[in-house]
Chains A and B, each alone.
Chain A
Amino acid sequence: SQTIHQWPATLVQPVGSPLSLECTVEGTSNPNLYWYRQAAGRGLQLLFYSVGIGQISSEVPQNLSASRPQDRQFILSSKKLLLSDSGFYLCAWSGTVLSGNTIYFGEGSWLTVV
Chain B
Amino acid sequence: GENVEQHPSTLSVQEGDSAVIKCTYSDSASNYFPWYKQELGKRPQLIIDIRSNVGEKKDQRIAVTLNKTAKHFSLHITETQPEDSAVYFCAASTGANSKLTFGKGITLSVRP
Asked whether, in the complex, the Cβ of B46 is within 8 Å of the Cβ of A51, the reply is no
Which residue of the partner chain, among A49, A51, A100, A106, contacts B43 with CB atoms under 8 Å?
A106
Q: Collect the chain A residues with CB atoms within 8 Å of residue B96's CB.
A: 97
- Residues of A contacting B46 with CB < 8 Å? 102-104
Contact across chains for A102 and B45 when beta carbons are under 8 A apart: no
| Cβ distance B7 to chain A, nearest Cβ, rounded Å | 14
Q: How far is the CB of B34 from chain A (nearest CB, A)?
A: 6
Task: Decide: B43 and A90 in contact? CB cutoff 8 A.
Answer: yes
Give bound CA distance, A72 to B2, whole Å.
27
**Which of B43, B49, B99 is the one whose CB lies under 8 Å from A105?**
B43
A43-B102, A90-B43, A94-B98 as given contacts; A101 in contact with B32, CB under 8 Å: yes
Q: A32-B98, A101-B98 are in contact. Are A43 and B49 (CB under 8 A)?
A: no
The distance in angstroms between the C-alpha atoms of A97 and B93, with both chains bound, is 11
Whether the Cβ atoms of A43 and B43 lie closer than 8 Å is no
Q: Which B residues are in CB contact (< 8 Å) with A49?
A: 97, 99
For residue B89, CB closer than 8 A to chain A, the reply is yes
In whole Å, how far is B66's beta carbon from the nearest beta carbon of chain A?
A: 15
A residues with a Cβ closer than 8 A to B are: 32, 42-44, 46, 49, 51, 90, 94-97, 100-108
* Chain A to chain B contacts (Cβ below 8 Å), 29 pairs: A32-B98, A32-B99, A43-B89, A44-B44, A44-B89, A46-B102, A49-B99, A51-B97, A94-B98, A94-B100, A95-B98, A96-B98, A97-B95, A97-B96, A97-B98, A100-B32, A101-B32, A101-B95, A102-B34, A102-B46, A103-B34, A103-B46, A103-B100, A104-B46, A105-B43, A105-B44, A106-B43, A107-B42, A107-B43
